[in-house]
Amino acid sequence: MVSPLTAGDPETLGDYVLDARLGEGGQGIVYLARTRSGDQVAVKLLSAGDAHTRARLARELEAMESIASFCTARVLDVSLDGSRPYVVSEFVDGPSLADRVSMRGPLRDGELERLIVGTATALAAIHAAGIVHRDFKPANVLLGPDGPRVVDFGIARAEGAATMTSGLIGTPAYLSPEQIHGTPGAPASDVFAWAATMVFAANGASPFGAETMPAAMQRVLTLEPDLSALPVRLRGPIAAALSKDPARRPTARDLMVALVDPHSAAVNTPGPYGGPPPGPVHLTGPQSPALTTQTSPRNRRRGALLGGIAAVVALAAAGGALVLFNQGQNGDKKQTAASPPPSVARSQEVSPALQPSTQATAGDLKIPKAFAGSWSGHTKTNLITDQNGADNTLVLKTGQASAAWTEKDGEVSCTAQITLTAVEDRRLTFALERFTGVCVAGTIQLDLAGEVLKYHWTDGFAIQTGDLRKG
């Protein structure tokens, strides 16, 4: 959307006269400008960067020269020497996908299919040049008169170059699960974001959108988007691209081939992302789980507040299911709950190495007197998306088999009755159940160290730790 220049905007940049604003993002401001001959161009004025950032940008722009101009906005000029660098590119006279959907609703039929195939081709070309976009989203797809163009490489990076920042980069509702867990953007991440963007085009709403950033990220981690608005023959490739596991996603090139040739096996063969093939993806009807908004099987086990990224109603594990651990450290004496039925053990993904060495009924497990009391403290996770942590409170009563647990992160909170699953001389292990609020499933271990209770929560991937004290 074009808007007037503001008082702080320059009138010119080099030989270019600035006429209006086209947009603004984390990397700078994009202007509609004119050349000396009167041709319209887009000028992106970047935030001032250090020598390292400018060198990275120069490498990236050089790599972009090999990308076909039919699918991106061609770079025309670059200035890296002034106080603020800028990049001049071809002006695409058309709305962004975000604006198009906002004004006229979802795309349909041939218009939608041309978008899907065109943007997949663009992404394949970008990756072939060694570039990772890292912020593929509806606002970065322009619908020109000659077809869609993928734009805004301000946060892309050439493969092998240093990352631009150490923080999270991208738009939450279009980040891949691995980026939310702190892994830098990669081609597989772009594929996930591309697929989410195509679902937006078909549905008219972001598939993982939410009112808050934590809620959006939690939806990315746990929810499967509704693909029913997509043409049947395109649901399979897009479902494969939305796999929570990056190793199971097809490459952009394989997607491009699969989209133009429905009989191709491209999305069923391993690509450079590694891992096993994604399996058959030719979905034909509404019976496919990918066509619903239910949680994926991998995430049905999730149910403890995970610092700054928890914001969804989680599904509890099956009633009475207990997570089991094996022998304690340093030869501690240990009791464990009886082994669950095989189906429950599989649902909890408890490996054979973690099965208990001794067995007891759940009623035999009691909180020892040494652990009794009301404990509280601040805990932090190992996720890059959660730097603030949370406040935890536990009320442990002698002889009880469960305890009251509360976690609060700003305005987001969760309460639960956690159930004892193992007792050792200086360690208690609990599983969550009957919780209220926004939670993510996990196992809580409490280690008694003098006057301190060492808190450790994990769901098998993320870890949350801290010291709790009586008071």
Give the angle 136-139-145 at the CA atoms, nearest 5°.
Answer: 105
Largest CA distance in the chain: 86
The CA-atom distances, in angstroms, between 386 and each of 168, 273, 307, 399 are 10, 27, 6, 35
Tell me whether residue 376 is exposed, middle or buried, using C-beta atoms within 10 angstroms of its C-beta: 0 to 12, 13 to 18, 19 or more. middle
Exposure string of 329-363, with b = 16+ CB inside 10 Å and e = fewer, is eeeeebbbbeebeeebbebbebeeeeebeeeeeee
Query: What span, in angstroms and rounded, lies between the C-alpha atoms of 166 and 9?
Result: 29
Three-state secondary structure call for residue 200: helix
170 forms bridges with which residues in the sheet? none
Tell me whether residue 399 is exposed, middle or buried, using C-beta atoms within 10 angstroms of its C-beta: 0 to 12, 13 to 18, 19 or more. exposed
Exposure string of 174-194, with b = 16+ CB inside 10 Å and e = fewer, is bbbbbbbbeebbbbbbbbbbb
96 forms bridges with which residues in the sheet? 142
CA nearest neighbour of 120 among 267, 292, 278: 267
Query: What span, in angstroms and rounded, lies between the C-alpha atoms of 236 and 283?
Result: 5
Three-state secondary structure call for residue 110: helix
Token pair 């305005």: residue: 411
Three-state secondary structure call for residue 243: coil
Which residues participate in catalysis according to the annotation? 135
Three-state secondary structure call for residue 157: strand
125 forms bridges with which residues in the sheet? none
- Indicate left, alpha or beta for 261 from its phi (over 0: left) and psi (-120 to 50: alpha): beta
Task: Say which DSSP state 442 is in.
Answer: -
Count of C-beta atoms within a 10 Å radius of residue 62: 13
Which amino acid, residue 186? A
What are the tokens at 90?
């071809």
The CA-atom distances, in angstroms, between 163 and each of 25, 48, 57, 125, 179 are 18, 17, 11, 21, 13
Token pair 């000028």: residue: 43
Counting runs of H as helices and runs of E as strands, what totals does the chain give?
9, 19
